[in-house]
Structure 1
Amino acid sequence: MVTELLSVAALVGSGVVAGVLFAVALSVLPALIAMPADRYVYTHQLVGRRWDPTMPIIVLTSTVIDIVLALLTSAATALLFATAAVLLLGVSVVSHFCNVPINRVVKSLDPAEVPPDWRDPRPLWRRWHLLRTTLALLGVTANALAVVLA
């Protein structure tokens, strides 16, 4: 019974992570890229207000649940849950060390006074975001396979 409840929690958590990151990649990111620098900075500051600490908590909680499931389940599903944990940990690492530092720089800017020599972080931010989105989609897929096979 415990493993079934944890399996649902892992699937829901990793699904939320993958869904949010996919939605940002599909809709929010193209809109941000299309904006002039001042509007981008302003919008990025508004959009980013609620992500922390919600998304890190969901990602890391789902990772821990996957680790617990890898220890509690049979070999075939344990490997899938362990794979999902590694993939979600990758989401966290990319977010923390790649996207968050860029976010901090953008948050520190005054939208009305974007410097003329400003280096637009959007292409780099997009690359890191697409990497973590791919990791999240693979993670939810590994969790789904584990739940189906369990």
Structure 2
Amino acid sequence: MLNATEVVTTVIVGLMVGVEFSVAFVMSRILNALPEDSSQLGHAHGGRMLGAVMPFWYIGSLVLVGIWAAAGWHHHGAGLVVTAGVLLILSVIMSLLLLVPINNRNKTWTPENRPEDWREQMNRWERWHYVRVAVIVAAFALLVTALA
């Protein structure tokens, strides 16, 4: 049972890291290269689509890491799993306090109603997203190391 939990958790967290990495280093660059209205509309659509899925993915990943930590408490690598869990908690807190408020505004914007500082807000979101990606990459690396 513990082995299956370890593998499933690592895969789920790894896929989440891949999606968030892609958003940071691929999708944002593509969207930012589009003409202004298309760029903003693309960011808004992405915010709606991923904003609906990512809360479940983040919380689900955290729950799986918690199960792994509890089930493997007396096994090798438990400290690494707990540390990964702490990093995932940090990523959720960052999301709720820093990224979600901007995303909630962004996903309602249209070219007609977006604020004058919409680019600055998106740039702030991207900077915080880079930090969040670094945090979840570190959590993923700890989980992989715990498997070894």
Bin of the TM-score, shorter chain as denominator length: 0.7 to 0.9
Deviations 1:44-95 (A, max 9, x none): 1222232233222122112122122222223541101101111112222222
Match of residue 32 from structure 1: 31
What's the C-alpha RMSD, in Å, of the aligned pairs? 1.9
Letter in structure 2 aligned against 1:142: L
In structure 1, C-alpha distance between the alignment counterparts of 2:99 and 2:31, rounded to whole Å: 15
Gaps of 5+ in 1: none
Q: Secondary structure at the match of 1:111?
A: coil
Contact 2:66 2:85 in 1 (8 A): yes
Query: What is residue 108 of structure 2 aligned with on the other side?
Result: 108
Give the equivalent residue in structure 1 for 2:6. 7
Q: For residue 31 of structure 2, what is the amino acid of its counterpart?
A: L
Conserved 8 A contact 1:63-1:89: yes
Structure 2 residue identity aligned to 1:80: L
Quote how far apart the aligned CAs of 1:118 are.
2.8
Asked whether 1:95 is paired with 2:99, we answer no
Q: Give yes or no for contact 1:72–1:78 (8 Å, CA) kept in 2.
A: no
- CA gap of 1:131–1:33, structure 2 versus 1, over 3 A, is same
**Conserved in 2, the CA contact under 8 Å of 1:38 and 1:111?**
yes
**Alignment partners' CA distance in 2, 1:107 and 1:56:** 15
CA distance in 2, matches of 1:125, 1:32: 14
State the TM-score, normalized to the length of structure 2: 0.87
Partners of 2:118 and 2:16 in 1: how far apart? 29
What secondary structure, in the 3-state scheme, does the structure 2 residue paired with 1:108 have?
Answer: coil
Report the secondary structure of 1:32's partner residue.
helix
Equivalence map 1:54-133=2 (5 Å)? 54-73=53-72, 74=74, 76-115=76-115, 117-120=116-119, 121-133=121-133
Alignment size in residue pairs: 146
1:43 matched to 2:49? The reply is no
Instruction: Describe the shift of the 1:119–1:30 C-alpha distance in structure 2 as closer, same or farther (beyond 3 A).
Output: same
1-structure distance, mates of 2:39, 2:112: 11
Gaps of 5+ in 2: none
Identical-pair percentage: 28
* Distance in 2 (alpha carbons) for counterparts of 1:37 and 1:101: 22
